Structure 1
């Protein structure tokens, strides 16, 4: 078993790597001010569209896709039951972790850095160096966000997760492990609700911090559209779980989405490219991204 795979990954095809440089905090603040504070959310109306299940079946995985239009409130779920199942968030937790660190003053912005401790870790070689918040989020650097969580501390972390209404908000299992192998659980529906609140600036976080983290999630973009998201990968109880959670913007419309796929633990590595491919295909299928996105 390759331990680093069970922790977190942001390994994606080169074409899906974030295409745009991270905006400095000042630029992010301007963007947040332009969008304003919390905007009213349309009522969520959910419908089941099981057509996505054919893609999961073809890939030989158990999976669910949740897509919410932040413009109309329509929410599509491919499997109503699985959309409500809580799972370890794995590296998708780097999104709230970054927000909390910025809001609590643990990190001062995208360029805030932490020194590498010199310990060679099994995993992507990019992990074994100094990192900034921007590079650690891009490379999904586990040690960086573990140190961030330690600096935030249990009391502040617990309070923030409860304020965010983030899944079950349970930090049992250790301050630097609870999202990797501890008690924290969040469902695909809850992931979409969290991303919706992030985009609407409806979290108890400064709009500038929301805007900055959202920008740092950019995977690909071109005139007229953008694709933002964070991967996650973990294993427990004989299962491998893969995530991709984020936002898609096309023209005047924005969507929040969450893809979760599961296989037997022995097939974990197969989920690394598959979660990205399936999410892209489903976002294209439902009109949230153009065919060219991520290619």
Structure 2
């Protein structure tokens, strides 16, 4: 019986007061889920919202990169996307990109090129195989991860996806995993490494901000997903700020 008890994930049903305080201090409505890959111990702020699906926005680039490499649409992080000269509102998009830079600056037009090459039927197949979110049967292949209602995923589901990603339990080859791991790395310190992706669902109302990823320490790997209501662009940095503060407050990073 003791062994069975040890195998049961430790999930707190109560709202995590430490994380809740961080959100309250910034007057932010949102949610955060943090889960240990090793033990299943989970910290949750606002479980009701954590179950609510939203557009993944640019956090879908995590899945999209895996699909792109698996299908041979891109070869590796050095694959080049040629800029067509159109001037976008985001200045960092207005030049040629590599897969690595496209991921880091959330270049929409680059991933729209990928989406056209992958096609609707392949997306339906991959998202069904991986149990990723909730995809409508009819959708625009170039915008479905940005549109309201076309594809939605909850914070809990993001963490489940990340868990399968880290364990390499998704239907992708090693090259796909390795390429994603290279471009998703945000920070490496002597005590931890952070892989993460931001998202901004600007086509939904109210806007939703995301920050998802995982942290590897010498003892464990921690998966996390944060989403929050965005009232204005000035709040965008709070996605990373709140997530990192929560990870620090729980003693996961220093």
Same fold at TM > 0.5: yes
Q: Structure 1 residues 258, 60: closer, same or farther in 2, change over 3 A?
A: same
Q: Could you report, residue by residue, the CA deviation over 1:237-295 in whole angstroms, capped at 9, with x for unpaired residues?
A: 530211000011111310110011114xxx220231111110110011112211xxxxx
Q: Is the 8 A contact 1:87 1:187 kept in 2?
A: yes
Q: Structure 1 residues 113, 197: closer, same or farther in 2, change over 3 A?
A: same
- 1:142 aligned to 2:81? no
Q: Is the 8 A contact 1:218 1:227 kept in 2?
A: yes
Partner residue in 2 for 1:156: 122
How many residue pairs align between the two structures?
Answer: 245
Which of 77, 95, 99 matches 1:110? 77
Partner residue in 2 for 1:128: 94
Q: Is the 8 A contact 1:66 1:83 kept in 2?
A: yes
Q: Is the 8 A contact 1:158 1:170 kept in 2?
A: no
Deviation for aligned residue 1:211: 2.7
Q: Is the 8 A contact 1:192 1:258 kept in 2?
A: yes
Deviation for aligned residue 1:236: 4.6
- 1:272 aligned to 2:240? no
- 1:228 aligned to 2:228? no
Q: Is the 8 A contact 2:37 2:220 kept in 1?
A: yes
Unaligned runs of 5+ residues in structure 2 are 1-6
Which of 149, 155, 171 matches 1:188? 155
Which of 207, 214, 229 matches 1:262? 229
SS of residue in 1 equivalent to 2:11: strand
- 1:178 aligned to 2:151? no
Q: Is the 8 A contact 1:249 1:255 kept in 2?
A: yes
Which of 21, 46, 49 matches 2:11? 46
Unaligned runs of 5+ residues in structure 1 are 1-41, 291-295
SS of residue in 2 equivalent to 1:175: coil
User: Separation in 2 of the partners of 1:189 and 1:115?
Assistant: 36
Which of 236, 248, 251 matches 1:287? 251
Q: Is the 8 A contact 1:242 1:272 kept in 2?
A: yes
Deviation for aligned residue 1:215: 2.7
Partner residue in 2 for 1:119: 86
Q: Is the 8 A contact 2:18 2:249 kept in 1?
A: no
- 1:64 aligned to 2:31? yes
Indicate the RMSD between aligned Cα atoms, in angstroms: 1.5
Q: Structure 1 residues 43, 154: closer, same or farther in 2, change over 3 A?
A: farther
User: Separation in 2 of the partners of 1:165 and 1:200?
Assistant: 15
SS of residue in 2 equivalent to 1:261: strand
Deviation for aligned residue 1:80: 1.5
TM-score by length of 2: 0.92
Partner residue in 2 for 1:5: none
Q: Structure 1 residues 208, 174: closer, same or farther in 2, change over 3 A?
A: same
TM-score by length of 1: 0.79
